[in-house]
Amino acid sequence: MAELNKSEQAFLDQITSIIQDQISNEQFGVSELAAKVGMSRSNLLRKVKKLTSLSVSQFIRQERLKQGMEILKSSAYTVSEVSYQVGFSSTSYFIKCFHDFYGYPPGKASKHDENRKTEVVKRSIIPGKRWFIVGILLLLLALVFAIVFWPGSDKQEYTNKSIAVLPFKNESEDASNTYLVNGLMESVMNNLQRIEDLRVISRTSVEKYRDNPQVIAEIARELNVGYLVEGSGQKVGDRILLNIQLIDASTDRHLWAGQ
C-alpha cells in the first residue's frame, strides 16, 4: 500500500476513532459509519478501498479484532465476554475471525508477543473462473434490487430499504467447505453495500441466526429489515452450486431466486 499523505491518514484516524467509540455496538456497520463521517456509503466504500485495499466491513471487523486483542492481553475476561464487548454477537464467529487475522485462537492471545502478530494478507476464497459464475449471480441480485427500488416501479410499496443476508448453509458433506460458503455470503453482502440508500445489516448481527430456527418474520422484526437473503452452497467436484433467494420479509414472499 502506498504511503498515505496527512489528510488521508487523518481520515483513517477519524473513522478508526468512530469505530472504537461504537465498538460494542453490534449493529454498527457501513451505513452507520457513513452517517457518522458525513459521507454517502458509496463514497465511503471507494475511499476506504483506495486507502486500505479493504472493504469498509473488513476495516470495521479488523478494528473490532484489534480491540479484542488488547482486552484479552490486559484483562481476565473470557473469550465469550470479549467477543460481545467488541461487537460480535457470536463467539464462534469471533474465534474464527480472530484466528484468520492473527494466526492463532484468542485463547492463546496472552501467550503471544505483540511483535509476532501475523501480517494480514487478503485472500481470494474462490479462484479463477469461479468468480465469473459468482459475479453473474451477484449482478442478477443487484438487478433485482434496482428493479424493486427503481422510481416509478409498481413496487413502490416496498419502502423499507434494508436487508439482512442470513448465514449461508453448507450443503456439502465436507465441513471444510463452510469457509467457502461463508466467503460467498460475504461477497453478496459487499455487493449489496454498493447499492445507494440500501441499509445492509452487518455480518456480526446476522451470525447468531446460523443455527437458530426462527421464522423469517421474527428475524426481520428483530433486525428491523424489509428484505432477507437466504443462501446455500455446495462443492460438487470442481464446481460450486450456489442457491440464493430474495425474500420480502413483510409477506414471506420470494421475490427472486437464482441457482
- What's residue 65's pLDDT? 93
SS3 label, residue 199:
strand
| For residues 169-191, average pLDDT | 74
Q: Residue type at 156?
A: Q
CATH 2.40.128.720 for domain 6-116: no
Q: Which residues contact residue 178 at a Cβ distance below 8 angstroms, ignoring those fewer than 6 apart?
A: 170
CATH number for the segment(s) 130-258: 3.40.50.10610
Q: How confident is the model at residue 159 (pLDDT cuts 50, 70, 90)?
A: very low
DSSP 113: -
Helix axes 30-37, 6-21, angle to 10 degrees: 120
- For the chain, the domains span 6-116, 130-258
Give pTM, 2 decimals: 0.54
Query: What is the tens place of the pLDDT at every residue in 219-235?
Result: 888 888 888 888 887 77
Are 181 and 210 within 8 A, CB to CB? Answer: no
Query: What is the tens place of the pLDDT at every residue in 115-143?
Result: 444 443 344 344 444 555 566 566 556 54
CA distances from 57 to 43, 61, 127, 175, 226 (A): 14, 6, 22, 25, 21
C-alpha triplet 75, 77, 79: angle, nearest 5°: 120
Q: How many CB atoms lie within 10 A of CB 228?
A: 24
Res. 59: pLDDT tops 90: yes
Task: Using alpha carbons, select from 253, 183, 256 the residue that is nearest to residue 220.
Answer: 253
Task: Using alpha carbons, select from 64, 41, 51 the residue that is nearest to residue 10.
Answer: 51
- What's residue 47's pLDDT? 92
- What's residue 247's pLDDT? 85
Task: Using alpha carbons, select from 224, 244, 220, 223 the residue that is nearest to residue 232.
Answer: 244
DSSP H/E element including 246: strand 239-248
Q: How confident is the model at residue 174 (pLDDT cuts 50, 70, 90)?
A: low
- What's residue 119's pLDDT? 42
Query: What is the tens place of the pLDDT at every residue in 185-211?
Result: 877 787 787 777 788 888 778 888 877
